Amino acid sequence: MPEINIGDIIEFFSPDDKAWLTGKVLYIEEKHNPGARKASEAWVKTAYLETPGLWEKKIYGIRLDKLKELINYGHVIQY
């Protein structure tokens, strides 16, 4: 799997919108997850993607491990 970096433009599936969206990674944040059951989940990275909209832009915060499952790798554009 390719690494996800700030500035990448990614096509991903949004379960909430039930649609494929294209978003630009604005930043990646690492947070402590106190309720983690495994040591590997103690720290969680979240990518924040901005999607262009007709009237307003929307920002999606998606955990990196989940985002990698939602990406259409045929359409990842790296800068």
Give the tens place of pLDDT for each residue, 25-77: 999 999 888 887 887 778 888 899 998 876 678 888 888 888 877 776 555 54
Give the tens place of pLDDT for each residue, 5-32: 899 888 888 888 888 888 899 999 998 8
Burial class (CB in 10 A: 0-12, 13-18, 19+), 54: exposed
Of 22, 29, 21, 76, residue with least CA distance to 48? 29
